[in-house]
């Protein structure tokens, strides 16, 4: 009996020691947890001074892991070295919501503010303006220079049969369908998305203008855009667009050739800026000095006013116009009047 009591007491002592150790370990764990909580909280809310006090534009590529994002932020001086950002993202449960894109970080932001910016996708948007009358080649240059995609890749996409079919365009490219406007673009945005954005904007504008079939000569919507692109390239004076459109519609009505220089230029492979007689005599599908009617498609991307001018042209009976060398034109109803205007505004100008 005495032995049993001794063993029991010994077991009780061991159990007591184990309990004390468990309590101690729980206390240590609690202290560690509290300490870690205090550390991560202080890390999250204390502003981070920038290296040179400047704003920082940082690009986070698609499919970058949390560790990869942390490395990018550390390398660019957005956050200090260490794993604080990683643990903060995990504990706050924002790690799965971090989004790719370009971000602007300012001096004095806290790690939590930076984390929230990434989680909400508050990316930088850049205003990119596409002027009216810009053709696909000029548009490709604008996007290439701005870092929105390589020129050749863009030109390949706007002529891709799959993309043309998706947008219901029957021509050989999206020329005329990429609406000129100011767009808010994102760094890293795929050119396909930019193209879709421009095409959809054009669709909306055309819907606002009404049925493109409803025009003086019953032109198809594609032909309306083609003529609008010519009007856009022929004048930069807003008040002249309905007059220019009226001239071309009158010429089409009387089966006269359009004889417009911008179409000839568009059809030339290597135009050097000087339109010559040889150019005017070079056969291309766009040489309206040699072909009858409209060229096969738009020569640029027309704006709202140029499209509207084709749908609602001036009612004048003009058949000709000539540049007055001041950004406007002189309009004539017959060839004799036009020839006199050419002498007055063009040949006299050359003599000077």
pLDDT of residue 265: 96
| 313 and 261 fall within a common domain | yes
Query: Which is more confident, 232 or 57?
Result: 232
Please write the tens of the pLDDT for every residue from 8-35: 555 555 655 555 555 544 544 444 455 4
Name the percent of the chain lying above pLDDT 90. Answer: 60
**186 versus 349: which is more confidently predicted?**
186
Q: Does residue 233 lie within any of the structural domains?
A: yes
pLDDT tens, position by position, 235-246: 989 999 999 999
Q: Mark whether 131 and 119 lie in a shared domain.
A: no
Same-domain pairing of 138 and 183: yes
Give the pLDDT of residue 32: 45
pLDDT at 279 over 70: yes
238 in a structural domain: yes
pLDDT of residue 241: 97
Q: What pLDDT sits at residue 50?
A: 63
For the segment 151-165, what is each residue's pLDDT rounded down to a tens digit? 999 999 999 999 999
Q: Please say whether the beta carbons of 136 and 199 come within 8 A.
A: no
Domain that holds residue 311: 221-318
One domain, residues 259 and 307: yes
Q: Is residue 136 part of a domain?
A: yes
How many CA atoms does the CB half-sphere of 167 hold within 13 Å? Answer: 30
The burial class, CB within 10 Å (0-12 / 13-18 / 19+), for 175 is buried
Q: How many domains does the chain have?
A: 3
**Three-state SS for 352?**
coil
Of the ranges 39-43, 107-111, 167-171, 287-291, which one carries the lowest mean pLDDT score? 39-43
Task: Answer yes or no: are the C-beta atoms of 108 and 73 closer than 8 Å.
Answer: no
**H helices, E strands: number in the chain:** 15, 6
329, pLDDT greater than 70 = yes
Q: How far is CA 313 from CA 96, 244, 245, in A?
A: 56, 8, 6
Write down which residue in 209, 234, 267 finishes a domain.
209
The Cα-based distances of 271 to 156, 263, 274, 277 in angstroms read: 21, 12, 7, 13
What pLDDT score does 46 carry?
A: 81
**103-147: pLDDT as tens digits:** 999 888 888 888 899 999 888 899 999 999 999 999 999 999 998
Tens digits of per-residue pLDDT, 31-54?
A: 445 544 565 666 777 888 766 667
331 within some domain: no
- The reply to whether 341 falls in a domain is no
Predicted model pTM: 0.80
Average pLDDT over every residue of 286-295: 96
Q: Is residue 235 part of a domain?
A: yes
pLDDT of residue 150: 93
Cα four-point dihedral sign 280, 286, 288, 292: positive
pLDDT for the residue numbered 56:
86
**pLDDT surpassing 70 at residue 254:** yes
CATH code of the domain containing 172: 3.30.1490
- 267 within domain boundaries: yes
Q: Is 70 exceeded by the pLDDT of residue 84? A: yes
Give the pLDDT confidence of 178-233 residue by residue, as tens digits.
Answer: 999 999 998 878 899 999 999 999 999 999 999 999 998 999 999 999 999 999 99
Q: Say yes or no to pLDDT of 72 above 70.
A: yes
CB of 98 closer than 8 Å to CB of 66: yes
CA–CA separation, 300 vs 298, rounded Å? 6
- 309 and 230 fall within a common domain: yes
- At residue 352, the pLDDT reads 44
Quote the pLDDT of residue 348.
58
* Alpha-carbon distances, residue 187 vs 61, 122, 150, 228 (angstroms): 10, 12, 13, 32
With a cut of 70, say whether residue 334 has pLDDT above it.
Answer: yes
């Amino acid at each position: 009996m005495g032995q049993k009591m001794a063993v029991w007491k010994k077991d009780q002592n061991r159990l007591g020691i184990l309990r004390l150790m468990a309590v101690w370990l729980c206390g240590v764990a609690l202290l560690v947890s509290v300490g870690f909580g205090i550390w991560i909280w202080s890390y999250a809310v204390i502003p981070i001074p920038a290296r040179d006090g400047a704003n920082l534009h940082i690009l986070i590529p698609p499919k970058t892991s949390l560790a990869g994002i942390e490395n990018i932020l550390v390398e660019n001086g957005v956050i200090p070295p260490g794993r604080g950002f990683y643990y903060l993202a995990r504990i706050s449960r924002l790690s799965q919501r971090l989004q790719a894109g370009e971000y602007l970080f300012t001096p004095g932001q806290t790690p939590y503010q930076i984390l929230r910016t990434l989680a909400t996708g508050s990316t930088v948007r850049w205003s990119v303006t596409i002027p009216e009358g810009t053709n696909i080649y000029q548009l490709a240059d604008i996007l290439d220079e701005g870092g929105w995609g390589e020129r050749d890749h863009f030109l390949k996409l706007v002529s891709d049969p799959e993309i043309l079919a998706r947008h219901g365009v029957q021509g050989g490219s999206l020329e005329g369908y990429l609406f000129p406007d100011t767009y808010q673009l994102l760094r890293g945005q795929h050119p396909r998305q930019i193209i879709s954005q421009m095409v959809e904007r054009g669709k909306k504008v055309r819907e606002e203008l009404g049925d493109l079939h409803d025009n003086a000569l019953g032109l198809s919507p594609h032909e309306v855009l083609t003529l609008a692109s010519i009007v856009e390239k022929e004048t930069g004076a807003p008040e002249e667009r309905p007059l220019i459109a009226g001239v071309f519609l009158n010429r089409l009505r009387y089966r006269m050739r359009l004889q417009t220089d911008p179409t000839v230029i568009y059809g030339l492979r290597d135009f050097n800026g000087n339109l010559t007689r040889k150019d005017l005599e070079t056969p291309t599908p766009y040489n309206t000095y040699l072909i009858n009617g409209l060229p096969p498609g738009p020569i640029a991307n027309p704006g709202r006013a140029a499209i509207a001018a084709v749908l609602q042209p001036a009612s004048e009976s003009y058949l000709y116009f000539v540049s007055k060398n001041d950004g406007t034109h002189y309009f004539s109803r017959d060839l004799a009047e036009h020839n006199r205007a050419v002498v007055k505004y063009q040949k006299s100008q050359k003599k000077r």
